[in-house]
Amino acid sequence: MIINGTLTRGENAEVIIASYVIAMSLFGITERLGVLLRNACSALVRDKVSFKVMSTVAAYVLTGLMMVAGILAYTPVGKWIFSTFFGADTEMTAHIVDVYQILIIVTFFSAIRCLFQGVIILNRQTKWLTIGMVVRLVVMYILSIVFINTGNINAKTGAYIFLAGMVIESLVSFIEGRILVKKMVKDDVNHNITKKSQIFNFYNPLILSSLIIVMVGPIINAFLGKTHEIELAIASYAIALSITQLFLSFFTYTHQIVLTFYKEHPQKVQKFTLMMGFIPTGILALFCYSPLGAFFIEHLLGANERLVNASLDSLKVFILMTLVFPFIDFCNGLLMVRKRTKVMVLSQSTNLIFTFLVLVITSSLFPYWNGKIGALAQSIGMLTELCVLFLIIYKMEKKLNHSNGLKHRENKYVNG
């Protein structure tokens, strides 16, 4: 939101935003693998021994991510991907590469942040996540004001703001996380995570499923390049997605709540999810269908009338995504609790397939829909993912309950 609000005030705002968004979509692929460290850490770390093993795995992951990102940023491979796959012209490709070279540094700090956030969540000190995010947003806002007042706004501006915010948040997480690690017991006899292979058994399916799902963003941007007005389509989609993600950001830790509390309080977690899950939909609907939405995008983000209308059209489609996302996050958390992360490969593959099919159909038949094409494809993809998750988890829980029932009857027979 802060970044897009800054970029809309630059000359050729649609081109600037499109360049930044394309770079971010590729960055999202590598960064997502670092974010998974948070889930793995909160699920598997319980003592200093398991944290040391987790840190070693994190070092392997981060080294691999930086190598891949470096190849994309500093070799012709990246330029070929941006020009061929995303359809960017020579000038836009140069802007995209400039942005991506900055985002490599963001990858490093993001991985550090997520590793120690896992420790913070494990110890239920989540107030520090809020503190880190608030400080990050304040720094990003101040920096955006500086760029706006100096008039020095280009595609790299967004990357610099993003980097500054990530450095601050990772620093807060690192300081608090290290304090909590020092308080851990050295070796918990009730915890058996002592080898890297145990971490990778949990982490590898998450990697595969994430590689699948992060392809959604680049594929959508590639198909938006086939619309009638490419820059408008990508820019309006990006603004709509950032607003949607803002409203969803308060509900993106549902899986962590499941990981932390579900074993002890399953019914309370279910009730909490049902109670909170529909709130983002209500907020976004109010935003879209009241004067608040247009006012916000025009005056706070600085978009022109054409971009405002296109962004609102995409936002109305994203209402479907806000309806299903909290429940997808709940289901994924439950799969992590059950150590069934391989299921995510199937559910997110379904998401990607249906997203691709919708993009093919709509970009061919309705190219004038512009950004709405991306919003519709992403929303339907997530809806199909939720359907698959519901079906698999229903069968999984039914089998588990049946197994527990048999054990109960056997114990009763033996003791009787």
Per residue in 142-172, pLDDT tens? 999 998 888 888 889 989 999 999 999 999 9
How far is the C-alpha of 229 from the C-alpha of 255, rounded, in Å? 38
Q: Do residues 15 and 92 make contact, with C-beta atoms less than 8 angstroms apart?
A: yes
Q: Do residues 371 and 377 make contact, with C-beta atoms less than 8 angstroms apart?
A: no
Residue 305 DSSP one-character state: H
Burial class (CB in 10 A: 0-12, 13-18, 19+), 135: middle
In the chain, the amino acid numbered 98 is D
Does residue 400 or residue 331 have the better pLDDT? 331
pLDDT number for residue 126: 81
Residue 150's CB is within 10 A of a number of other CB atoms, namely 9
Alpha-carbon 147 to chain mean position: 26
Give the pLDDT band (50/70/90) at residue 403: low
Give the pLDDT band (50/70/90) at residue 410: low
How far is the C-alpha of 381 from the C-alpha of 295, rounded, in Å? 30
Q: By three-state DSSP, how is residue 334 classified?
A: helix
How far is the C-alpha of 133 from the C-alpha of 172, rounded, in Å? 9
Q: Which residues contact 77 (CB under 8 A, 6 or more apart)?
A: 71
How far is the C-alpha of 285 from the C-alpha of 282, rounded, in Å? 5
Give the pLDDT band (50/70/90) at residue 413: very low
The least confident of 5-14, 35-44, 59-68 is 5-14
Does residue 324 or residue 28 have the better pLDDT? 324
Phi-psi sector, 284: left (phi>0), alpha (psi -120 to 50), beta: alpha
Burial letters 321-360, b for 16+ CB under 10 A, else e: bbbbbbbbbbbbbbbbbeeebebbbebbbbbbebbbebbe
Q: Do residues 358 and 380 make contact, with C-beta atoms less than 8 angstroms apart?
A: yes
- pLDDT of 186 > 60? The answer is yes
pLDDT number for residue 414: 46
Q: Which residues contact 131 (CB under 8 A, 6 or more apart)?
A: 172
Mean of all residue pLDDT scores within the chain: 87
- pLDDT of 389 > 90? The answer is yes
CA distances from 89 to 35, 84, 235 (A): 31, 9, 16
pLDDT number for residue 381: 96
How far is the C-alpha of 66 from the C-alpha of 54, rounded, in Å? 18
Q: By three-state DSSP, how is residue 150 classified?
A: helix
Per residue in 218-274, pLDDT tens? 889 889 888 888 888 988 998 999 899 888 987 777 887 888 888 888 899 999 999
In the chain, the amino acid numbered 169 is E
* Number of continuous H segments (helices) and E segments (strands) in the chain: 17, 0
Q: Do residues 378 and 245 make contact, with C-beta atoms less than 8 angstroms apart?
A: no
- pLDDT of 98 > 80? The answer is yes
Q: Do residues 34 and 110 make contact, with C-beta atoms less than 8 angstroms apart?
A: yes
Tokens (6 digits) for 199: 């971490």
How far is the C-alpha of 141 from the C-alpha of 165, rounded, in Å? 9
pLDDT number for residue 6: 83
